[in-house]
Amino acid sequence: MQVEERDFLDMMLVNALSPVRTAEILGDLVPAGGTIAIMTSELGSIANATGGWQLYSSSKAALNMLMKGYAAQHVRDGHALLLVAPGWVRTEMGGSDATLSIAESIPLVVDMVEANRGKPGLRYVDRFNKTLPW
């Protein structure tokens, strides 16, 4: 695999470590029964891996694993912990061929987060609240 080490480290910092650090720092501000939702990707699923987008996929798989650890350490918090895959969205990264606009994806994600309010524990789900394989 040809990738600059700095690019790999930057992606892991931004996509994996920083979201979990943010949950650690701000988690106490979330009321009991509240929800901590973190954006991941369906590409973070090891079970469904196809070999594409290796760098990005590995960073999201790492995020999912780090959140597993966070959940184990915060089991008594009672928070819903969501790893949310918003779908293939037309952004700079997603490109113009992506299936969803930002305006289409956001309401689905909001509805899914709302549907999980008060349901403690970690879940890896898509925008339709469908459980994704780890």
On the question of pLDDT at 122 being above 90, the answer is yes
pLDDT digits (tens, 9 = 90+) for 82-118: 999 998 788 877 878 878 888 999 999 999 999 999 9
Residues 15-36: tens digit of each pLDDT: 999 999 999 999 999 998 899 9
In a domain, 28, yes or no: yes
Task: Please state, in angstroms and rounded to a whole number, the distance separating the CA atoms of residues 123 and 35.
Answer: 11
**Mean pLDDT estimate for the chain:** 93
Identify the bridge partners of residue 102 per DSSP, sorted by sequence position.
none
Instruction: List the 121-126 sheet strands across, edge first.
Output: 35-39, 80-85, 121-126
Would you say residue 17 lies in a domain? yes
Is 131 domain-assigned?
no
> How many domains, in total, are found in the chain?
1
CA dihedral 60, 66, 71, 73 (to 10 degrees): -170
CATH of the domain at 11: 3.40.50.720
Is pLDDT above 90 for 1?
no
